[in-house]
């Protein structure tokens, strides 16, 4: 008691690791569903990616001369690795996960100063760099092969797919919905003819469609999102702004030309959109601090995503949209700040009219 300790002398009990654990719990439904849908190769890729993230964190900490224990135990590296795995094609080779984790942890996080200092979301940097560098591996999706069914590879076959290249893969590969729409539109097939069959909206909401490991099931993601909201780990601002903006934009353009523009439902449940709304756009470090800021951020992400999906070369644009909005965060935080008690928005003391 000799040290001079300052107040407050009570604490809520919250901690960074507690927050991270909550995020992991929230990711669990989508993860388990992904494992079920895509079988052993998905499990192996997941394990490799998370392990690589922890190894990368440890390596970067050692390089930076920082203590290992507190930072490895805070759980942030596991969350990053886990999220990267969620965004990968489930049967991608092991090195995709390893390269992704190292890019995220070493380049996107520690090069900027480590925990809390990065400007860009590490998982989105990894995903984007991988997409640009390895376009083939990163866009080879497959029709779900639920575990323990005939089409699903066994344990050893799974090991082979992840670690030794995939002969079994070509048989089941398929385009994601957004990819299919883009290709078919290019061939002059209207949207409403592309959607249907195996790509029905119900299947997409449930997640029985080709896609990344943890992003296909809107239901599982929503479950996690609700958990995050209920535990007040995240606020509603960014997800709601993203969903509303996307729905409005997609609805507007669909009304203009239904044959050219897919509707709000397709945009909302396909690709990484919902996953990003609850797990990426709500990343504390790379999002604005105020509620209003988060609304602007979410709206910006959705608008940019819509633009990239609709008019750019890539079928999915959410990674680029997040990174572009990440860069705008310091600006948003500079201009959008809470009103100080007893002051007007411009910072002058409040004035009352003389009675």
Q: What are phi and psi of 11, to 5 degrees?
A: -145, 150
Positions in the binding site for another protein (CB under 8 A): 1, 4-12, 14-16, 18-19, 70, 74, 76, 114-117, 235, 284-285, 287, 289-290, 333, 337-343, 349-352, 355
- Please state the closest distance from residue 30 (CB atom) to another protein, in A: 22
**Please, which residue, 5 or 230, has the CB nearer to another protein?**
5
- Please state the closest distance from residue 37 (CB atom) to another protein, in A: 32
- Please state the closest distance from residue 7 (CB atom) to another protein, in A: 5
**Please, which residue, 256 or 355, has the CB nearer to another protein?**
355
Helices marked H in the chain: 16-64, 68-73, 76-86, 94-102, 122-133, 135-138, 155-164, 169-172, 177-186, 191-194, 201-206, 218-230, 237-256, 264-269, 273-275, 291-311, 318-335
Tell me the C-alpha distance between 175 and 141, whole Å: 6
The answer to whether residues 256 and 235 touch, using CB atoms and an 8 Å cutoff, is no
Place of tokens 């997640």: 207
**Please, which residue, 258 or 330, has the CB nearer to another protein?**
330
- Please state the closest distance from residue 117 (CB atom) to another protein, in A: 7
Which run of H or E residues covers position 153? none
**Please, which residue, 47 or 229, has the CB nearer to another protein?**
229
Tell me the C-alpha distance between 241 and 277, whole Å: 9
The answer to whether residues 161 and 48 touch, using CB atoms and an 8 Å cutoff, is no
Structure tokens at 150: 């005939």
SS3 at position 271: coil
- Please state the closest distance from residue 231 (CB atom) to another protein, in A: 13
- Please state the closest distance from residue 289 (CB atom) to another protein, in A: 4
**Please, which residue, 119 or 189, has the CB nearer to another protein?**
119
**Please, which residue, 66 or 260, has the CB nearer to another protein?**
66
């Amino acid at each position: 008691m000799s040290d001079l300790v300052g107040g407050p002398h009570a604490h809520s009990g919250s901690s960074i690791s507690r927050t991270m654990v909550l995020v992991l719990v929230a990711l669990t439904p989508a993860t388990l569903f992904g494992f079920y849908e895509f079988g052993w190769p998905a499990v192996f890729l997941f394990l490799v990616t998370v392990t690589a993230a922890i190894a990368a964190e440890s390596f970067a900490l050692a390089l930076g001369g920082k203590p290992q224990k507190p930072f490895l135990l805070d759980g942030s590296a596991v969350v990053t690795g886990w999220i990267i795995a969620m965004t990968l094609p489930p049967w991608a080779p092991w090195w995709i996960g390893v390269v992704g984790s190292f890019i995220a942890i070493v380049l996107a996080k520690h090069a900027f100063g480590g925990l809390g200092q990065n400007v860009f979301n590490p998982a989105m940097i990894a995903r984007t760099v991988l997409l640009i560098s390895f376009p083939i591996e990163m866009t080879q999706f497959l029709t779900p092969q639920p575990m323990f069914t005939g089409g699903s590879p066994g344990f050893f076959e799974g090991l082979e797919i992840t670690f030794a290249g995939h002969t079994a893969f070509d048989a089941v590969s398929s385009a994601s919905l957004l990819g299919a729409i883009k290709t078919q539109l290019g061939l002059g097939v209207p949207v409403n003819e592309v959607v249907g069959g195996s790509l029905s909206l119900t299947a997409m909401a449930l997640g029985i469609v080709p896609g990344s490991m943890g992003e296909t099931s809107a239901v599982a993601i929503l479950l996690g999102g609700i958990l995050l909201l209920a535990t007040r780990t995240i606020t509603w601002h960014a997800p709601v702004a993203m969903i509303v903006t996307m729905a409005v934009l997609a609805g507007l353009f669909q009304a203009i030309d239904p044959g050219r523009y897919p509707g709000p439902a397709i945009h909302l449940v396909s690709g990484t959109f919902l996953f990003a709304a609850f797990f990426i756009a709500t990343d504390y470090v790379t999002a604005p601090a105020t509620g209003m800021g988060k609304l602007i951020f979410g709206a910006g992400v959705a608008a940019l995503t819509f633009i990239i999906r609709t008019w750019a070369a890539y079928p999915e644009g959410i990674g680029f949209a997040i990174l572009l909005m990440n860069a705008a965060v310091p600006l948003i935080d500079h201009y959008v700040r809470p009103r100080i008690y007893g002051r007007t928005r411009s910072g002058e003391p409040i004035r009352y009219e003389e009675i």
